[in-house]
Structure 1
Amino acid sequence: MSSADVYALVLARGGSKGLKGKNVRPLGGHPLVAWSVAAAKASKAVDRVICSTDSDEIAAVARAYGAETPFMRPAELAGDFSTDLDVFGHAVRWLADHGEHPDLMVQLRPTTPFRDPEWIDRSVTMMRADPTITCVRSVTIAERTPYKMWCKAEDGKLSPLLTLEGVPEPFNMPRQKLPPVYWHTGQLDVVRSDVILSGSMTGGRIFAIEVDADSAVDIDGIRDFQMAELLLDEAMPQAVRDAIAAGRDARVQSSEPRLSLG
């Protein structure tokens, strides 16, 4: 492999507490993890799609839809307090030990299933054009401005979370007069492998792919899953639908035994 490769990494552990088994729970007739695999497969920029999981079931589902599972994630990196950096660091080091040195790593979280493959392609193009960009992230305008948020001391006294140079009491200003603030949606991160190995998931020059807030569903519990089901028809790009259908068809036509997803 060349140093210019782009690898997508889908993180899907088996021990979800908020909604048990959510990564293989069917969304629109396909396991949740399959939608992230399909987005990577639909991207023109991604060279290889890998699922990092500690679960044999999730690994089998990911493979059924076209991802690779060349390694299983160690149990110590699949706990509630494991970080993205821990898991990506493990993956990048494992790849290096096996002669693989991708330039860019694409994070596709199964819990944020609505993403356009074009976002991936555009992010990669941005980072190819400017080698100083260390990371590109999907963001959207924050629904609530942090300039109107507060910290509370033990005695009950409030202090503003943020101040704004040149603006006295921004917490008393109309929202429309405050600077726009962007929320990281979690749908997409593209980061350089050498940045990960240096000990960061972003590095110091982070650029934005601005996305529609209506697509930014982050599934933690059953209500989030129900919201995703309601939005599926309008929020899931056709390219991802086509890719997941292709993955399903490949599974059906495979000579291997059919995998039960129900």
Structure 2
Amino acid sequence: MDKQILRKINKGEVCAIIPARSGSKGIPHKNIKLMCGYPLISYTIAAAKLSETIDRTIVSTDSREYAEIAKLYGAQVPFLRPADISNDSSTDLELMAHAIQWLYDQENSVPEYFVHLRVTCPIRETSVIDQAVALMKQHPEATSLLSACIPEGILTPFKWLVKQDDIYFKSIFFENNDDANRPRQSYPSAYMRSVYVDIISVESLVKNGVLFGNKILAFETPETVDIDHMDDYEKAQKLISKENFKIYQYLLTHYPICKEETGHVV
């Protein structure tokens, strides 16, 4: 990327970026599918707006329909993401780099941090997002922050195996296969990445051309739902409808419930 961008970083500015492409395969139009009367994307936009540390909320989408829905719930959509970085093989690095370049070209300013919030995680506490931002600001040397959790009920990955030559098993981590058979308490804690919140240093991305860099802050979060299949969707909907969920209460207070699968209120 153009290193001149580094001169235009607005120190202290925190911008949420919410990717929402239109080509979902598992659940068609997942990002705007109604959940308890509101499009899925609205929950993540609301989380960003309720945050005390996020200055601006941008949705990166390739869809004009999605853009209009995002604006309805208070997000900015200053650009449409090009089709060539909006397909199944597109990466987070591509969409972040595109957003940075657009902001530099069109506004002559870029934020210091991007808070990456995924639409597939509608159940968040905004206080957790704010804790993540505060931690990132406390460590200016950090290149990124990743949220992760210790998943319940999953065998430690230090015991996992891979198949070789379609017939033999081998330890993923150890040269000596017996090392994969020790008591689980002898292994270090292993974390699984969550979709709760990630934070990217714009300076690091521009300088190094990579998303996370080599100084990734560890941020442990509660387990949460990541909607990939209908089972996940139904689980999230049950949790939202049963609990006094702050973001859902915000939506109920500020926006009429949608009556059809367009994401638009009627």
How far apart, CA to CA, are the structure 1 residues paired with 2:134 and 2:169? 45
AA aligned opposite 1:14: S
Q: Does 1:210 align with 2:217?
A: no
AA aligned opposite 1:113: P
AA aligned opposite 1:76: D
AA aligned opposite 2:140: P
| 1:99-124: CA deviation from partner (whole Å, max 9, x where unpaired) | 12200000000012222111221122
AA aligned opposite 2:113: L
**Equivalent in the alignment of 1:120:** 129
Aligned length: 251
AA aligned opposite 2:114: M
Runs of at least 5 residues in structure 1 that lack an aligned partner in the other structure: 253-257
Pick closer, same or farther for the CA change 1:177–1:205 going to 2, 3 Å. same
**Equivalent in the alignment of 2:264:** 260
Q: Does 1:29 align with 2:17?
A: no
What is the TM-score when the length of structure 1 is the normalising length?
0.88
How far apart, CA to CA, are the structure 2 residues paired with 1:237 and 1:193? 32
Which of 219, 238, 248 is the equivalent residue of 1:230?
Answer: 238
How far apart, CA to CA, are the structure 1 residues paired with 2:86 and 2:27? 16
How far apart, CA to CA, are the structure 2 residues paired with 1:19 and 1:236? 26
**Equivalent in the alignment of 1:255:** none
Verify the 8 A CA contact 1:11 1:52 in the aligned structure 2: yes
AA aligned opposite 1:163: F
Q: Does 1:134 align with 2:127?
A: no
1:16 shift after superposition: 0.3
Verify the 8 A CA contact 2:32 2:263 in the aligned structure 1: no
Pick closer, same or farther for the CA change 1:194–1:2 going to 2, 3 Å. closer
1:211 shift after superposition: 1.5
Aligned-pair Cα RMSD in Å: 2.4
Instruction: List structure 1 segments (4+ residues) > 3 angstroms apart after TM superposition.
Output: 233-237
Verify the 8 A CA contact 2:143 2:200 in the aligned structure 1: yes
AA aligned opposite 1:190: I
Runs of at least 5 residues in structure 2 that lack an aligned partner in the other structure: 1-8
Verify the 8 A CA contact 1:113 1:187 in the aligned structure 2: no
AA aligned opposite 1:126: L
Residues 144-223 of structure 1 correspond to what in structure 2 (within 5 A)? 144-163=155-174, 169-197=178-206, 198-213=208-223, 215=224, 217-223=225-231
| 1:197-219: CA deviation from partner (whole Å, max 9, x where unpaired) | 22222111111221122x2x111
How far apart, CA to CA, are the structure 2 residues paired with 1:235 and 1:114? 11
How far apart, CA to CA, are the structure 2 residues paired with 1:205 and 1:50? 25
Verify the 8 A CA contact 1:66 1:247 in the aligned structure 2: no
1:259 shift after superposition: 6.7
Verify the 8 A CA contact 2:15 2:55 in the aligned structure 1: yes
| 1:32-80: CA deviation from partner (whole Å, max 9, x where unpaired) | 0111101100100100000000011111111010000000000001100
- Give the SS at the match of 1:57: helix
- Give the SS at the match of 1:208: strand
1:241 shift after superposition: 2.8
1:232 shift after superposition: 1.8
Which of 24, 27, 46 is the equivalent residue of 1:16?
Answer: 24
**Equivalent in the alignment of 2:50:** 42
Verify the 8 A CA contact 2:34 2:263 in the aligned structure 1: no
Pick closer, same or farther for the CA change 1:236–1:33 going to 2, 3 Å. farther
What percent identity do the matched residue pairs reach?
34
**Equivalent in the alignment of 2:255:** 248
Verify the 8 A CA contact 1:38 1:247 in the aligned structure 2: no
